[in-house]
Structure 1
């Protein structure tokens, strides 16, 4: 048996895994901070629910990634201070994110998260870390479906140019 053929949790992390896990934890911490602000700015009930779910998802990722880092003797990035709750009416209209802007930003974040999870899975040699990314990839796919439905239902989706005339097959 080789050095990497035992219990994956006993195997060392390679630098790519360390960088991916540390970066993922840090990005999730930034997402929680940013999404707390989005929650203050959102007016739509369905959007608020999705934001809350995303904060919960990111919080779960932080806990697991930081535990993995700590278990391997690596210090995670510090957690950001929690944002205070404010009433939507207290935010001046010109300074407020609109629901459509928030939904579009979430959609972009989820897309980037899917790509990051795929890249991390592809370079992992520790099965436990690859499985962790596979789990989060699946959860992000579910969130991506929810935000896409929300964008369509609310009329917030701005599609790229659509092919109206299709070539006729002879």
Structure 2
């Protein structure tokens, strides 16, 4: 699982803050020019351009702030969904382990297998021989009624989705 870049929102906040300061400077400059030179002079030449630029910069700050808030809300929502899915997948795995009556050693090996580890990696992590891991895997596959790692993962994912993939694909063609 990747770790989200927590500096990205901070960078955007800094950019928005700098833009806000610039916008405040341009607005203050226009106000001071109006006070010093008279408001009638503001509609001539570069003053119109400065006013339009100030308004555009302020609009950009507002838009960027709204977009940042939307992105942060979406990130929080996605994190909640991932947490829920992770919990659901864990529950599905635990339920299957119980139904298959896996021993604690078989459960460990099954979890490492589901995580994608090789037989040699599992053996090193468990401090056992590769033959022992292979023996556990054969027992797991037999109890689960599958022929290998792919079948094991498919079985768990199908159960997580709630509808077997074959049934769903057949319903789509009707």
**Normalised TM-score (structure 2):** 0.30
**Which structure carries more relative contact order (alpha carbon 8 Å, separation 6+)?**
1
Larger radius of gyration: 2
